[in-house]
Amino acid sequence: MDLHATDLEPTTATRLEPMLIRLPPVLAHELRALARTTRIRQSDYLREAVADLLAKYRHVGLGQGARP
């Protein structure tokens, strides 16, 4: 997945917004193990997962400034 796609805002590629998430211990452990094994940062995996989720639900119309 290309996180620098043209449909993202221009500032997205240069500045990341901090966000706190909480995961169940099992998921946190598996993510940590995956990151350690592949040498890819956990934050990279999380950004990819969010991008995939938003693409999946793009038909709903959220993400364009709309509020649920």
pLDDT by residue, tens only, the chain of 68 residues: 555 454 555 555 689 999 999 999 999 999 999 999 999 999 999 999 999 999 999 988 765 555 55
Q: Is residue 40 part of a domain?
A: yes
Q: Is residue 12 part of a domain?
A: no
Number of independent structural domains in the chain: 1
pLDDT of residue 2: 54
DSSP string, 2-68: -TT-TTS-GGGGT----------HHHHHHHHHHHHHHT--HHHHHHHHHHHHHHHTGGGTTTSS---
Q: Is residue 46 part of a domain?
A: yes
Q: Is residue 66 part of a domain?
A: no
Q: Is residue 56 part of a domain?
A: yes
Q: Is residue 50 part of a domain?
A: yes
Q: Which residues contact 68 (CB under 8 A, 6 or more apart)?
A: 62
User: Per the confidence metrics, is the pTM higher than 0.85?
Assistant: no
Q: Is residue 29 part of a domain?
A: yes
